[in-house]
Amino acid sequence: MTKAKEICIFRMEYSKENIVNLLSIEGKEEIEQLRQSAYKTMSEHCGEKVYLRGLVEFSNYCRNDCYYCGIRKSNANVERYHLEQSEIVEAAKWAAEQGYGSFVLQSGERTDPKFIDFVCEVLQKIKIGTKSDKLPDGLGITLCVGEQDFETYQRFFEAGAHRYLLRIETTNQELYSEIHPPEMKFENRLHCLAMLREIGYQVGTGVMIGIPGQTIEDLAQDILFFKEHDIDMIGMGPFINHEDTPMGAGKTNDFKDNKLLFLSLKMIAVARLVLKDVNIAATTALQAISPFGREHGLRYGANVVMPLMTPLEVRKSYQLYDGKPCIDEFGSECAECLAQRIVSTDREIAKNEWGDSRHFINKKKKSK
């Protein structure tokens, strides 16, 4: 019997040891078995539709200095930008016209009142500006602007964001403190995730895969963390060196052996098996390490894709890692290319649907 079968892919409870075993699978056939099981789990719990969220990276100003990230505040080689509200709202309207259903607003982290007011205003404008017969409540909105306080999260929620993404990056606390400056505390991330949950957001988190020093046990623990924290949405991707960062300086990325790609895909598949009804994104970073990375992500159990809609002029300034794809395409070209790519995986693209996390919806139903 193959190793994958031996550990019985479809088990009700996954122990850390089972998860480590699944993530350690190397044989082609076994990986394919894992993929098929993950895909089946996805179709049973979420259906086969792919949900699109237009992604606008509206500012690359950041108060943080994460050792891995290209837009860290100490990187003087980045040209800083901040989009106008009108540009963001236009992009949102375009996304709504395409039938995307949902939108993601992402930026570097800032906590000053001017920034917070800006985000609240733009959320309200998007909500009002994208209402139509097809989308009576406007676009669904996911926000991704880092660690904030309770009042700020509450204000964003009231202004119209109903999902929030805040990656934990790694649940190995020692590793977390190695890749972040001392003022960034693991406990605060946990606290932020708890506040987001309390306010009523659909809560998303995720990790970087392949951080130097990270083990398979760490990754297994990450998946158990998602489960223990009752996470609704997952966004994970490979760690990629950025030359202007302490972790990436002097290093080149070499993805020829596909090891990192397969580890990332196995993470998606195992997260799907363990968590079942959550939304899982096939992230752009997957495509940075493999030309068809996002399509593979969909085949391994992901059900969300975030087409990049950041205006072309500033896209090159939002590079968290080297080799970001799609930095010289237009929004419309990107949309078309992505649609063709998704169709190539035999999946239907949801139109004018928010595509909320089934996990969140099921939880709500249960609590009534």
- Binding region for ligand 5AD (CB under 6 A): 68-69, 167, 169, 208, 237, 239-240, 242, 285, 320-321
**Minimum Å distance from CB 245 to ligand 5AD?**
7
CA distance 335 to 349: 12
Residue with Cβ nearer ligand 5AD (21 or 75): 75
Residue with Cβ nearer ligand 5AD (14 or 156): 156
Residue with Cβ nearer ligand 5AD (14 or 58): 58
Dihedral-angle region of residue 362 (phi above 0 means left; psi in -120 to 50 means alpha; beta otherwise):
alpha
Tell me, rounded to whole angstroms, the distance of Cα 330 from its chain centroid.
Answer: 22
**Minimum Å distance from CB 206 to ligand 5AD?**
7
Residue with Cβ nearer ligand 5AD (300 or 321): 321
CA distance 318 to 243: 14
**Minimum Å distance from CB 300 to ligand 5AD?**
18
Residue with Cβ nearer ligand 5AD (208 or 220): 208
CA distance 262 to 32: 11
Residue with Cβ nearer ligand 5AD (208 or 275): 208
Q: Give which of 291, 362, 353, 358 is closest to 140, Cα–Cα.
A: 353
CA distance 140 to 128: 12
Question: Which strand (E) or helix (H) includes residue 315?
Answer: helix 312-315
Q: Is the dihedral of CA 234, 239, 242, 244 positive or negative?
A: positive
**Minimum Å distance from CB 214 to ligand 5AD?**
12
**Minimum Å distance from CB 287 to ligand 5AD?**
12
**Minimum Å distance from CB 285 to ligand 5AD?**
5
**Minimum Å distance from CB 146 to ligand 5AD?**
8
**Minimum Å distance from CB 69 to ligand 5AD?**
4
CB atoms within 10 A of CB 343: 12
Residue with Cβ nearer ligand 5AD (47 or 323): 323
CB 31 within 8 A of CB 258: no
Please identify which residue in the block is written with the tokens 């404008």. 125
Residue with Cβ nearer ligand 5AD (102 or 241): 241
State the DSSP string of 102-171.
Answer: EEEEEE----SHHHHHHHHHHHHHHHHHT--SS-TT--EEEEE-----HHHHHHHHHHT--EEE---B-S
CB atoms within 10 A of CB 232: 26
Residue with Cβ nearer ligand 5AD (104 or 220): 104
Q: What is the dihedral of CA 271, 209, 15, 297, to 10 degrees?
A: 20
**Minimum Å distance from CB 153 to ligand 5AD?**
17
**Minimum Å distance from CB 7 to ligand 5AD?**
29
Residue with Cβ nearer ligand 5AD (68 or 100): 68
β-sheet bridge partners, residue 282: 236, 305
CA distance 192 to 111: 14
